[in-house]
Amino acid sequence: MTELLVGTKKGLFVLEGDAGGPFEVTSRAFAGEPVEFATRDPRSGRTLAAVTSAFYGPKIFYADDPTGEWEQSSGVELPEGAEKPLERLWTIVPAEDDDHLYAGGAPGVLFESHDGGASWELNQAFWEQPTRPEWSPGAGGMCMHSIATWPGDPSRVALAISAVGVWLTADGGKTWEHGNKNLYPRYMPEEAREDTLTLCVHNMHRAPKRPERLFMQFHGGVYRSDDAGESWISIADGLPSDFGFPMVIDPEDPDSAYVIPLVADLDRTTPEGKVRVYETRDAGATWTARGDGLPQDDAYLTILRQAFCGEGSGPSMGLYFGATSGDVFGSGDAGRTWFTAATKLPPVHSVRAA
Amino acid sequence: MPVVRLRAPLSELAGGNRELELEGSTVAEVLAALEQRHPDVKGWILDERGQIREHINVFVNKEYGREDTAVRESDRLHILPAISGG
């Protein structure tokens, strides 16, 4: 039995089922509210949800049972004197040390919890980056959406922000450096590409079995890094488009990655009206389309950056993604065949399996 | 004292109270008194800068109020979500 936490424009839906058939909606929380992201911390079993009410602002809530009572976390706010309030929360990620979690949000902020998500504090070193006044947001705000920890080493973390590129720490977040070499922002004038900080990363993941390797979906570009995020290599050849939002990796296979290409920045829908996931098993040298069971006729879907996830690894790895159409699709065989897990949900913001 | 009227979910955060008497001579002071008495409300009406959230309306009687709007002893403050969203 797989549990899916599906964050939508109108609440959090918990779905349960087995790969191959439709999933059942077992509960809905935060009815009417945009749930940007929800995940279950595998260490504690606790579910955490990032909820951004249009009226009451962004909050993190947590529950030991997502079908039960939720409590609001404390400390999820910017310091006094901030020019703008906290806008949105995009991701929550378990860290490498016990009870430690990270949360990323807009405007380009990192929060940390040391009590399993009940209370949070801002990472001051990142908040006080001297270049912050020069930072630019992407269309969804200045969102910190990807936080890649280093297995077994809590001191090393990579962050990615739209549109402020990749940031690396090797001292547990006390200092931060750029990791942007060879990213190619073709949405910028040629003269500005080399020095710009306006680097619109859409999603980034680390390969746990080879942690110096990261994969990235960029705003026009798919990349791999083999030096812990300091520099990047284009691996987009063979894809129908290098634009897209989410990305998934097989945690046991450092040569694997999955993307869902969209046409382009001006047409953020699945190419040719066909929904296809593309898989590489050779670190991006080649890509294989995986669409068996997915809509292939007049299907113009948009899949957002947090709306694609994996479960397990290897040939029986689960893959799940949701679209802004409200459809959720799944695979129980690492993408070779797909099934429809749910339809007619509100627009899907995030999908995580537990 | 001015009276603050709340609807869910704010009333739930304020201990189930839909109406409270609170001290203050401006909207900001009354809302600060609300947060002090019911800390769970903190961050829901006023953001971390102490400003009324963009999509929250505070009426003083029947007029829109801002943080510095004067409040009299006999006034009623209504805290309502704005007509916005999708």
Complex-level ipTM = 0.81
Question: What is the count of structural domains for chain B?
Answer: 1
Residue B86: the pLDDT is: 62
Residue B85: the pLDDT is: 59
Q: How far apart are CA A100 and CA A119, in angstroms?
A: 11
User: How much helix, strand and coil, in percent to the nearest 5, is found in chain B?
Assistant: 20, 30, 50
* Token output for A322: 């949701």
**Looking at the predicted structure, is the pLDDT value of residue B46 above 90?**
yes
With respect to residue B73, please indicate whether it lies within any of the assigned structural domains. Answer: yes
Contact assignment for A79 to B43 by CB distance below 8 Å: no
Quote the minimal CA–CA distance from A324 to chain B in Å. Answer: 14
End-to-end CA distance of chain A: 10
CATH number of the domain at B61, please.
3.10.20.30
Phi, psi at residue B35, to the nearest 5°?
-65, -35
Q: How far apart are CA A106 and CA A175, in angstroms?
A: 20
pTM of the model: 0.94
Mean pLDDT value across residues B32-59: 95
Residue A138: the pLDDT is: 80
Please name each of the domains of chain A with its CATH number.
Answer: 2-353 (2.130.10.10)
pLDDT in tens, A218-266: 999 999 999 999 999 999 999 999 999 999 999 999 999 999 999 999 8
Question: Which residue range forms the structural domain that includes residue B42?
Answer: 3-81
Residue A139: the pLDDT is: 77
- Taking CB atoms and an 8 Å cutoff, what residues of chain B touch A57? 43-44, 47, 53
With respect to residue B86, please indicate whether it lies within any of the assigned structural domains. Answer: no
Query: Following CA atoms A332, A337, A342, A345 in sequence, which dihedral angle do they give, to the nearest 10 degrees?
Result: 110
With respect to residue B66, please indicate whether it lies within any of the assigned structural domains. Answer: yes
Phi, psi at residue A329, to the nearest 5°?
-120, 155
pLDDT in tens, A52-108: 999 999 999 999 999 999 999 999 999 988 988 999 999 999 999 999 999 999 999
With respect to residue B52, please indicate whether it lies within any of the assigned structural domains. Answer: yes
> How many CB contacts within 8 angstroms connect chain A with chain B?
41
Contact assignment for B47 to A80 by CB distance below 8 Å: no
The answer, yes or no, to whether the previous bond of A185 is cis (omega within 30 of 0) is no
Residue B84: the pLDDT is: 65
Residue A261: the pLDDT is: 98
Asked if B81 is an interface residue toward chain A (Cβ–Cβ < 8 A), one would say yes
Which residue among B48, B82, B84 places its CB closest to the CB of A80?
B48
Q: Which residue carries 């059942």 as its tokens?
A: A24
Q: How far apart are CA A30 and CA A104, in angstroms?
A: 20
With respect to residue B17, please indicate whether it lies within any of the assigned structural domains. Answer: yes
Please say whether the beta carbons of A48 and A95 come within 8 A: no
Nearest to B13 by CA among B37, B38, B36: B38
Contacts of B3 (CB under 8 A, 6+ apart): B19, B20, B21, B22, B75, B76, B77
Please say whether the beta carbons of B20 and B7 come within 8 A: no
Those residues of chain A that have pLDDT short of 50 are: none
CA-to-CA separations, A306 to A145, B2, B73, in angstroms, rounded: 8, 45, 50
- Taking CB atoms and an 8 Å cutoff, what residues of chain B touch A78? 48
What residue in A sits closest to B45 (Cα-Cα)? A56
